[in-house]
Structure 1
Amino acid sequence: MERGRLFVRRNFLRKVIAIYLQTCTECEHKRARIKKNIVKKEIVTNPKSYAESYQVDFIDMESQRDGLYSWILVVQDQFTKFVHLRALQNKDSRSIAFLLEEIFAQFGPPQVLQTGNGREFENEHIHSLCREWKVKLINGNSRKSSNEESVERASHDIENIILTWETSLQRND
C-alpha cells in the first residue's frame, strides 16, 4: 500500500516539475541561449572502408627542432588506422595543402577530411585542394569524436617514439 502511494506521489511531482519547466520564462530564455550556441558538425564515426575518412593532426616538435623542421603533419585513415607522417617547417596553408595532395596522389583521396579546430584548414589553399579532389572537409568538431581521439593518441605515441629515439642517439654519442 505504501509503495503505491510513493509511486503516485513521485509521478505527480514529475508532472508538476515538467509543467513548471514548460511555463517558466527564465527556463525558456536559458533553453533558447543554449540552442543558439550549439554548432552541429557532421562526424564520420564508423568508416566502413579505406580512405572513407582521414583525420589530421599536428605534432609540435619545436622544442626538439631538427634543422628546418618543427612540425609533423599526422594524417590517419580512420578505417585501417594507417598513419601518414610528413615533416613541416611551419604550419602555413600552402605547405599543408602540398603535403596533403602528395598523400592523396600516393594513397588516394578520402571521401572526408576531418580536422581539429585549427585555423590552418580554413583557407583557400585547403578548400581548393578539397574541391579539386572532391573531398568533403569537416573542420572543427564541436565535441571530440573517437576518431579525433584516435589520431591524437597516435600523435602522442609518435612523439614519444621520436623523443625516445633522440635520447638513445644522444646516449650513444
Structure 2
Amino acid sequence: LPRFAVDIFLKQCLPCQLRKPIKHHVVSKQIISLGVMTRLQIDLVDMRTRPDKVSENVVYNWILNCIDHYSKFCWAFPLKNKTAVDVSVKLRELFFTFDPPRLLHSDNGREFVTITFQSI
C-alpha cells in the first residue's frame, strides 16, 4: 500500500481526526542585534566520529563555532577536547582580535558555565 494512499485515508477518517491532538503553535521571541559583535552565538560541534588527525599526537575532536548574529560572520576553531580552559583560550584569541561582544549566547553546556569560562 503506497504511503500517499494511507495519508489520503487518514485525512478522510473521522475517528482518526477526532483522536488527533490539536497543534499549538509556539510563539518565539525574536532575537534582535543592534550591530556587529553585539551578540555572539557559540556552540561546539562534535567531530569524534570523524576526527581531524594532524599528526600522531595532535587529534582535533571538536570545533568551536562562533557566529556574529548581526553580520552572520562565522569563525571555527579546532579543539582537541571540550574543556572550559580550551574553549576560553580560543574565545580570548577571538576577543583580542575583534573586541569582546556585549552578549555571549550559548546553550549553557558544561564547558560554557564553569568559573573558568565566566572569568573571561
Q: TM (normalized to structure 2)?
A: 0.69
The one-letter code of the counterpart of 2:36 is: Y
Question: Larger Cα Rg: Structure 1 or Structure 2?
Answer: 1
Which segments of 5 or more consecutive residues in structure 2 lack a partner in the other structure?
1-28, 54-58
Tell me by how many angstroms 1:44 deviates.
7.9
For 1:79-94, list aligned pairs within 5 A: 79-94=70-85
Aligned length: 87
Aligned residue for 2:12? none
Aligned residue for 2:21? none
Q: Which has the higher contact order (CA 8 A, sep 6+)?
A: 2
Residues of 1 paired with 2:77 and 2:30: CA distance?
A: 24
Superposition CA RMSD, Å: 1.4
Q: Quick check: which one's helix share is greater? A: 1
Residues of 1 paired with 2:117 and 2:86: CA distance?
A: 10
Residues of 1 paired with 2:75 and 2:93: CA distance?
A: 11
Which segments of 5 or more consecutive residues in structure 1 lack a partner in the other structure?
1-42, 130-173
Give the share of equivalent positions with the same residue, in percent.
Answer: 32
Runs of 4+ in 1 over 6 A off after TM superposition: none
Say if 1:44 and 1:53, in contact at 8 Å, map to a contact too: no
Residues of 1 paired with 2:108 and 2:89: CA distance?
A: 20
Tell me by how many angstroms 1:55 deviates.
0.4
Q: Quick check: which one's strand share is greater? A: 2
